[in-house]
């Protein structure tokens, strides 16, 4: 299978596609056959060198919000997700197959397009949490900064 890594810090030119074995899920994990990957802004910063500050070793993988179909579950895992279309946040997202924590899968509703489904693992829960923390009453005005970003985009729709 293919996956993307970087072995030095820099711009997009440091990204490399490499061939590797399909990963096997461990306990409490599932494997997804990747259909769509949502890139996270922080990964561009890590790739540019911020990863050094946070102790992310090289070579490094890119995180992301993945939409895919569960094709394997780890030993002793619940088989019910097999064959389901789900979304998950994963540390090694830019690959043909990814591993995800089975507890944090978001089932993608029928009719929801892949691009929108990439919002389910991270952007939607964060946006909802922020709005709930604000304890807004019906009819109040909410200002959402950075409404063009993933979290802001969802927050505008929820507000």
Q: How would residue 54 be classed by pLDDT, with cut points 50, 70 and 90?
A: confident
User: What pTM was estimated for this model as a whole?
Assistant: 0.84
**Nearest Cα residue to 43 out of 76, 68, 9:** 9
* pLDDT for res 130: 85
Fold topology of 2-109: Quinone Oxidoreductase; Chain A, domain 1 (3.90.180)
* Distance from C-alpha of 93 to C-alpha of 128, rounded to nearest angstrom: 24
Q: How would residue 50 be classed by pLDDT, with cut points 50, 70 and 90?
A: confident
Per-residue pLDDT for 29 more than 90? yes
User: Where do you find CATH 3.90.180.10 in the chain?
Assistant: 2-109
* Distance from C-alpha of 144 to C-alpha of 159, rounded to nearest angstrom: 9
* pLDDT for res 90: 92
Question: For the chain, what is the mean pLDDT?
Answer: 91
Per-residue pLDDT for 5 more than 90? yes
């Amino acid at each position: 299978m293919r996956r993307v890594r970087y072995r030095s810090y820099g711009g997009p030119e440091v990204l490399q596609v490499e061939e590797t074995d399909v990963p096997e899920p461990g306990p409490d994990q599932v494997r997804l056959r990747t259909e769509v990957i949502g890139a996270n802004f922080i990964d561009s910063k890590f790739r540019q060198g911020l990863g050094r500050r946070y102790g992310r070793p090289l070579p490094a993988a890119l995180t992301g919000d993945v939409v895919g179909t569960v094709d394997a579950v780890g030993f002793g895992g619940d088989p019910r997700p097999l064959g389901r279309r789900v979304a998950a946040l994963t540390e090694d997202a830019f690959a043909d197959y990814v591993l995800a924590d089975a507890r944090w899968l978001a089932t993608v509703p029928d009719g929801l397009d892949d691009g929108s489904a990439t919002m389910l693992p991270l952007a939607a829960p964060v946006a909802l949490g922020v709005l709930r923390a604000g304890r807004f009453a019906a009819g109040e005005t909410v200002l959402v900064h950075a409404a063009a970003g993933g979290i802001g985009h969802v927050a505008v729709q929820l507000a």
